[in-house]
C-alpha cells in the first residue's frame, strides 16, 4: 500500500510539473507520434514516467480515479497569476473553453476565475522549491511538506469555487470533472494487493 501511494504521489508530482510547464491537464497514453503542442508535451511527461506500469487508466476506468485528484488536476489547469494584467492568453482561453464546455453562466465563470486567481503564482513557487530539492539545490526542503502544501492550496481553491458557484454551476462542475477530467488522468505504479 505504501509503495502504491508513493508511486501515485510521484506520478501526481510529475504530472503537476508537466501540467504547470505545458498546460497538459493529465497524463494519458499516446501510442502515435504527437501532432499538437499538447500531445508533444504529454510525450515528454510520458517519458518522464519511464517504465512504470499503468495502475489506472481514466480513459478506460474513470470511476477508479479519485475525485479529489481529478479536481486538483482541473484546478491546476485553471490557476493563474494574481494580476489580471499578468494572465496569459493561454490561461484565459483555457478557462473560457472549460467554462463553455460546462455551460457555466457568466456569474459562475467569474466566480470560478476569482477562486483560482493568484493560485498559479503560489503553485509555481512550490514547483520551484520541489525542483530545487530534487536537483540538490536545497537538501533541507521537505518534499512531503511541499506536496501537502500543494494539496492544501488546491483543496482550498476547490472550497472557494464551491462557495462561489450557484447550485447549477456547482452541479455542472461536478458532472464535468466526473465525465471529462477523470477520463484524462492516468495513475502510474502498482495497485496494492
- What pLDDT, on a 0 to 100 scale, did the predictor assign at position 48? 53
- What pLDDT, on a 0 to 100 scale, did the predictor assign at position 159? 96
Q: What radius of gyration do the chain's Cα atoms show?
A: 16
- What pLDDT, on a 0 to 100 scale, did the predictor assign at position 91? 82
CA-nearest of 112, 69, 70, 68 to 91 is 112
Mention every residue, 6+ apart, whose C-beta is less than 8 A from residue 162. 170
- What pLDDT, on a 0 to 100 scale, did the predictor assign at position 142? 80
Q: How far apart are the first and last CA of the chain?
A: 8
Tell me the sheet residues that pair with 187: 56
Q: Show pLDDT as tens, one digit a residue, over the chain (193 residues).
A: 444 443 444 444 444 444 444 343 344 333 444 454 444 444 545 555 567 888 899 999 999 999 999 999 999 988 877 666 667 778 888 888 999 999 999 999 999 988 998 898 899 899 888 888 766 655 566 888 899 999 999 999 999 999 999 999 999 999 999 999 999 999 998 765 5
Residue 81, burial from CB neighbour count under 10 angstroms (0-12, 13-18, 19+): middle
- Is residue 13 within 8 A of residue 60, CB to CB? The reply is no
- What pLDDT, on a 0 to 100 scale, did the predictor assign at position 13? 47
Cβ atoms within 10 A of the Cβ of 42, count? 22
- What pLDDT, on a 0 to 100 scale, did the predictor assign at position 191? 62
Stated pTM of the model? 0.67
Amino acid at each position: 500500500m505504501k509503495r502504491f501511494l508513493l508511486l501515485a504521489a510521484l506520478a501526481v508530482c510529475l504530472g503537476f510539473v508537466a501540467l504547470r510547464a505545458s498546460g497538459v491537464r493529465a497524463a494519458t497514453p499516446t501510442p502515435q507520434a504527437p501532432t499538437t503542442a499538447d500531445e508533444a508535451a504529454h510525450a515528454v511527461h510520458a517519458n518522464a514516467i519511464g517504465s512504470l506500469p499503468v495502475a489506472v487508466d481514466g480513459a478506460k476506468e474513470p470511476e477508479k480515479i479519485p475525485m479529489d485528484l481529478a479536481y486538483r488536476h482541473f484546478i491546476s489547469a485553471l490557476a493563474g497569476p494574481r494580476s489580471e494584467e499578468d494572465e496569459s492568453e493561454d490561461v484565459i482561453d483555457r478557462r473560457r473553453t472549460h467554462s463553455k464546455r460546462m455551460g457555466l453562466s457568466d456569474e459562475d465563470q467569474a466566480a470560478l476565475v476569482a477562486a483560482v486567481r493568484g493560485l498559479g503564482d503560489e503553485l509555481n513557487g512550490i514547483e520551484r522549491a520541489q525542483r530545487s530539492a530534487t536537483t540538490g539545490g536545497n537538501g533541507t526542503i521537505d518534499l512531503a511538506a511541499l506536496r501537502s502544501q500543494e494539496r492544501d492550496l488546491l483543496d482550498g481553491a476547490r472550497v472557494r469555487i464551491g462557495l462561489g458557484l450557484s447550485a447549477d454551476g456547482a452541479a455542472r462542475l461536478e458532472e464535468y470533472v466526473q465525465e471529462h477530467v477523470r477520463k484524462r488522468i492516468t495513475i502510474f505504479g502498482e495497485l496494492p494487493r
